């Protein structure tokens, strides 16, 4: 398990009409946050029967040092014992698609009917995003702490 930097931008978008014009792969995700010091975010995730354990230390609003490893079901269930009782598990359907050579992840949450979250991981912080025209951007939320998944596990922002 080695650490790498994740550079990510996030956008709040109007709920699109499905199917998307671009071919996408959808998967169901449940992620649960673990008890950690405030400067660290640690979670376990079940994605279509596969399990991961991720630890992030935020460097800036757009950049985090991330360590992620694949784990088995027994490890997942053991780590769930360390879940943060103040946070709910986040459930979402992730639609992954490529538009003009850039890979996007569109997260649809069951608690929102009018909006969804679009994420893109970038090579560099200043890499331009070629925003898909079939999605209507409400606003960028990269630097808005209320739209971090861990914060949304505590309190869901209104639509």
Q: What is the pLDDT along the chain (159 residues), one digit of tens a residue?
A: 656 777 899 999 999 999 999 999 999 999 999 999 988 999 999 999 999 999 999 887 778 899 999 999 999 999 999 999 999 999 999 999 999 999 999 999 999 999 999 999 998 889 999 999 999 999 999 999 999 999 999 999 988
Does a structural domain hold residue 159? no
Whole-number pLDDT of residue 58: 83
For the entire predicted model, the pTM comes to 0.91
Domain that includes residue 109, residue range: 3-154
Q: How many domains does the chain have?
A: 1
- Neighbouring CB atoms inside 10 A of 49's CB total 8
CA distance 147 to 159: 12
CA distance 69 to 44: 10
Whole-number pLDDT of residue 1: 60
Cα angle 58, 80, 41 (rounded to 5 degrees) comes to 5
Whole-number pLDDT of residue 152: 95
Tally the C-alpha atoms within 13 A of residue 44's C-alpha that lie toward its C-beta: 20
Tally the C-alpha atoms within 13 A of residue 69's C-alpha that lie toward its C-beta: 11
Cα angle 109, 113, 116 (rounded to 5 degrees) comes to 50
User: Which CATH number do you get for residue 44?
Assistant: 2.40.320.10
């Amino acid at each position: 398990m080695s650490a790498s930097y994740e550079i990510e931008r996030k956008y709040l978008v109007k709920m699109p009409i499905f199917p998307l014009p671009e071919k996408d792969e959808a998967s169901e995700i449940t992620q649960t946050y673990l008890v950690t010091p405030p400067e660290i975010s640690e979670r376990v995730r079940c994605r279509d029967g596969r399990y991961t354990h991720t630890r992030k230390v935020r460097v800036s609003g757009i950049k985090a040092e991330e360590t992620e490893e694949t784990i088995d079901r027994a490890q997942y269930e053991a780590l769930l014992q360390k879940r943060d009782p103040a946070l709910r598990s986040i459930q979402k359907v992730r639609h992954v698609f490529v538009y003009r050579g850039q890979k996007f992840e569109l997260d649809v949450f069951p608690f929102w009917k009018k909006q969804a979250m679009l994420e893109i991981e970038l090579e560099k912080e200043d890499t331009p995003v070629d925003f898909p025209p079939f999605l209507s951007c409400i606003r960028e939320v990269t630097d808005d702490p209320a739209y971090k998944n861990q914060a949304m596990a505590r309190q869901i922002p209104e639509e």
